[in-house]
């Protein structure tokens, strides 16, 4: 069986979990206190980051590389389109959310509100929280624009770009940091992707000391 070393609210871990679940790959989830930089963990990934996946006799790190390996070795159901142009757009949006969105929003909200407390790094920086709260509006508007022109974020089919965006937003939704009333298109998109069987284990996550809002696991929110 595959084994994933992860942190429940990490969007990068969630992206890998969604890919595994969509492909119906059974996996054992092992919560990793990566901030302690234990020797066993550093042997698995010298970069000291999660996720780390054991699959097919390999130990793999870096969420996007892991997801592409899963896609190449288990192509059904597909999470990447067939043409180079369409694949480029998926990768562009993955980069958008894992880089720009992460730096401007996830790190300013989730990391300040949750990670600092969990890892014993102190209290949230209110300046960062305010910046993240402002920045997420811009990103939701951009997603809304994309969804006004497309069925899914990258085109007419659901792809790894949707799982990447949903991983970040679902983690932020756990701490009530997403204004779903800002865009009907984004809310409908999230409701659609949230209802997939692959999302079930993510919606069951519980982080000690943090209780999700009532709508978090509600498929009809």
The pTM score is: 0.97
What angle (nearest 5°) sits at the alpha carbon of residue 216, between those of residues 214 and 221? 85
d(CA 172, CA 140): 13
Question: 102-159, pLDDT tens digit by residue?
Answer: 999 999 999 999 999 999 999 999 999 999 999 999 999 999 999 999 999 999 999 9
d(CA 175, CA 215): 11
SS3 75: coil
Please report how the helices 160-174 and 63-73 are oriented relative to each other, as an axis angle in degrees rounded to 10: 140
β-partners of residue 28 are: 3
pLDDT confidence band for 221 (50 / 70 / 90): confident
Question: 2-56, pLDDT tens digit by residue?
Answer: 999 999 999 999 999 999 999 999 999 999 999 999 999 899 999 999 999 999 9
């Amino acid at each position: 069986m595959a084994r994933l070393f992860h942190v429940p609210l990490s969007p990068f871990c969630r992206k890998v979990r969604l890919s595994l679940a969509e492909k119906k790959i059974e996996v054992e989830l092992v919560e990793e206190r990566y901030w302690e930089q234990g020797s066993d963990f550093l042997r698995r990934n010298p970069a000291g980051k999660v996720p780390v996946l054991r699959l097919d006799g390999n130990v793999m790190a870096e969420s996007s590389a892991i997801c592409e390996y899963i896609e190449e070795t288990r192509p059904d159901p597909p999470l990447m389109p067939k043409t180079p142009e369409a694949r480029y757009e998926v990768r562009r949006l993955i980069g958008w959310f894992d880089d720009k969105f992460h730096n401007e929003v996830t790190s300013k909200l989730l990391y300040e509100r949750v990670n600092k407390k969990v890892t014993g790094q102190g209290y949230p920086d209110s300046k960062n929280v305010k910046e993240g709260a402002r920045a997420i509006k811009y990103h939701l508007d951009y997603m809304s624009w994309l969804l006004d022109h497309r069925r899914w974020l990258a085109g007419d089919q659901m792809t790894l770009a949707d799982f990447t965006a949903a991983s970040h937003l679902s983690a932020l939704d756990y701490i009530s940091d997403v204004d779903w009333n800002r865009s009907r298109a984004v809310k409908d998109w999230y409701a659609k992707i949230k209802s997939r069987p692959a999302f079930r284990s993510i919606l069951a996550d519980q982080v000690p000391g943090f209780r999700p809002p009532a709508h978090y696991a509600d498929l009809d929110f």
